Amino acid sequence: MSSSTVTEARRLGHFIDGEQHAAAGAVFERHSPATGELVAAVAAGTAADVDAAVAAARAAFDHGPWPRTTAPERAKVLRRFAALIEQHGEELAALDSEEVGKPLRLARGDIAGAVANTEYAASLAHTLHGESWTDYDADVVAYTLHAPAGVAALVIPWNFPALIVAQKLPFALAAGCAAVVKPSEFTSSSALRLAELATEAGVPAGAVNVVTGVGADVGAPLSAHPDVDVVSFTGSTVTGRAVAEAAGRNLKRVSLELGGKGANVVFADADLDEVADAVVFAAFFNQGECCVAGTRLIVERSAQDALLERVLERGRRVVVGDPREDATDVGPLIHAGHLDKVEGYMQEAKRAGAEALLGGGRASVAGCERGHFVEPTIFGGVDPASALFQEEVFGPVLAVTPFDDAEEAAALANGTAYGLANSLWTSDVATAHRVAKQIRSGTVWVNTTIDGTSAIAFGGTKASGFGREVGREGLLEFTELKSVQVRTARRGLALTQDAPAPSAA
């Protein structure tokens, strides 16, 4: 068992204007999804708390130093922020592991990603420049610039708490924005700790604020707040629609990274051993609670039996267990209600005629009898019209469906409302490029899955949202393009016919 654990219950308030505010009044109790133990009591925020946080951010942006700080200085602060995240990596990983239920060794990977994102955002601060025009008119110099958008509301889901904060906050700060972060009520600890570390790194008071609580009481008023200029939301498609509607009433910019129903599309000429490893990883990583999870295996019919043999052999070796144990591959689901939902999808799949090739029910773990565990599950013969094929289960459940040609493969990959990320496996270069163009998703991985770097923009299409995170595009989400036109000689503008003729000078 790893020694990096957090067991003492925490009482958490908001972080507003550079200070932690002790929880007062109602709290949301967070219990470990593995053991049922109380691990945190989180302040149940209200619209008044949102108002206070937005006011602090508004003052920091309108009158504070951060938007007026030079790009090199912002980059220096963000590099210090990245170094502090790395320095406190074990603490942050333990917080996320305990509250999410993800294996601690995988939570460490999330923190490494948060460090990388913050370092890359620091480098991007130097790249905020526009274009110039000097020769379309002899007496005009014109240019564009990317101005900070203002106050950014950052709404964070529960599955990758620290990592997704770091997909948004460092980029907003690099652009010169002030931010209000709303973490999930289930996983608030790491966001609050990151706000403290940002302040320690030199981000001025008010430029980073965190308000905890449930969506109806905090997320909704934050999204609709008239003093918020841009909203960046990651979460379900249902909630994303509500966020977009609330933000639209004030005509503020919105970026939405929503649900997914990713597929691994496998042609018979692919390396089936490598594919099998990737399929099991993509389906069961983070308990399947991952928007880019490969929850559909769309495989060429002639290779289906050979690939399934390999996938099932690897799937049987996946260890469901206590997330604190180094040997654990899959931990508990986030809460009991979500466990019921995932189990409901499995029961419906059986009623619809799909064959449970592996798992198919709840799992028990010694020492974690109150945990919300489910077996890694694989269903064969899944009908493309079924709920298991069409809907985001958000659990470790894989649906297998065969295809006969490339056109059918692309149609099946595109055959859901979602368009976030899909994977394509083939040894034929022509097939790879042709089918990748046909698949409608923000990301298409070829001969890899759940891959990428801080430099490559990420986001979805269709019901998976719009806008981009990370990469230069992720930085530009937090800017407004401004055009400046400077005339160096008199133009001689006149409305009336008897006005003096413009001077030749």
DSSP label at residue 301: G
pLDDT at 85 over 80: yes
| Amino acid (one-letter) located at 459 | G
Average pLDDT over residues 329-349: 98
pLDDT at 193 over 90: yes
CA 193 vs. chain centroid, Å, equals 18
Q: Which of 400, 152, 208 is nearest to 295 (CA)?
A: 400
Burial of residue 214 (CB within 10 Å: 0-12, 13-18, 19+) is middle
pLDDT at 6 over 90: no
Is 480 in the active site? Answer: no
Put simply, whether the predicted model's pTM sits higher than 0.85 gets the answer yes
Q: Give pLDDT tens digits for 225-279.
A: 999 999 999 999 999 999 999 998 999 999 999 999 999 999 999 999 999 999 9
Average pLDDT over residues 171-197: 98
CA–CA gap between residue 376 and residue 373 (Å, rounded): 9
Q: How confident is the model at residue 3 (pLDDT cuts 50, 70, 90)?
A: very low
Q: How confident is the model at residue 471 (pLDDT cuts 50, 70, 90)?
A: very high
Per-residue confidence (pLDDT) for residue 1, from 0 to 100: 37
Give the long-range contacts of residues 428-434, CB within 8 A, separation 24 or more: 428/267, 428/269, 431/267, 431/269, 431/406, 434/406
pLDDT at 4 over 80: no
Per-residue confidence (pLDDT) for residue 8, from 0 to 100: 66
Task: Please identify which of the residues 99, 257, 289, 375 carries the catalytic annotation.
Answer: 257
Average pLDDT over residues 323-341: 97
**In this structure, are strands 253-257 and 465-466 parallel, antiparallel, or unpaired?**
antiparallel
Contact partners, residue 339, CB within 8 Å, separation at least 6: 332, 333, 362, 372, 373, 374
Contact 486, 142 (CB under 8 A): yes
pLDDT at 439 over 50: yes
pLDDT at 42 over 80: yes
Q: Give pLDDT tens digits for 412-438.
A: 999 999 999 999 999 999 999 999 999
Average pLDDT over residues 32-37: 97
Per-residue confidence (pLDDT) for residue 463, from 0 to 100: 98
pLDDT at 2 over 50: no
CA–CA gap between residue 174 and residue 126 (Å, rounded): 9
State the greatest distance between any 2 C-alpha atoms of the chain, in Å, as a whole number: 94
Task: Please identify which of the residues 185, 291, 375, 469 carries the catalytic annotation.
Answer: 291
Per-residue confidence (pLDDT) for residue 82, from 0 to 100: 98
How many C-beta neighbours within 10 Å does residue 95 have?
27
In degrees, rounded to 5, the angle at the alpha carbon of residue 62 between the alpha carbons of residues 59 and 64 is 70
Domains within the chain, CATH numbers bracketed: 10-258+464-484 (3.40.605.10), 262-446 (3.40.309.10)
| Average model confidence (pLDDT) across the chain | 95
CA–CA gap between residue 372 and residue 32 (Å, rounded): 10
Is 368 in the active site? Answer: no
**In this structure, are strands 151-155 and 461-462 parallel, antiparallel, or unpaired?**
unpaired
Size of the chain, expressed as the number of residues it contains: 505
Q: What burial letters (b/e) apply to 255-282, b meaning 16+ CB within 10 Å? A: bbbbbbbbbbbbbbebebeebbebbbbb
pLDDT at 482 over 70: yes
Per-residue confidence (pLDDT) for residue 455, from 0 to 100: 97
- Reported in sequence order, the residue ranges of 60-216 that DSSP labels E, i.e. its strands, are 132-133, 140-148, 151-155, 178-182, 208-210
Per-residue confidence (pLDDT) for residue 503, from 0 to 100: 56
DSSP label at residue 408: H
Per-residue confidence (pLDDT) for residue 499, from 0 to 100: 67
Place of tokens 């308990």: 287
CA–CA gap between residue 413 and residue 384 (Å, rounded): 10
CA–CA gap between residue 208 and residue 494 (Å, rounded): 49
Instruction: Provide the β-strand partners of residue 233.
Output: 155, 256
pLDDT at 200 over 60: yes
Q: Give pLDDT tens digits for 371-417.
A: 999 999 999 999 999 999 999 999 999 999 999 999 999 999 999 99
Instruction: Provide the β-strand partners of residue 181.
Output: 154, 210
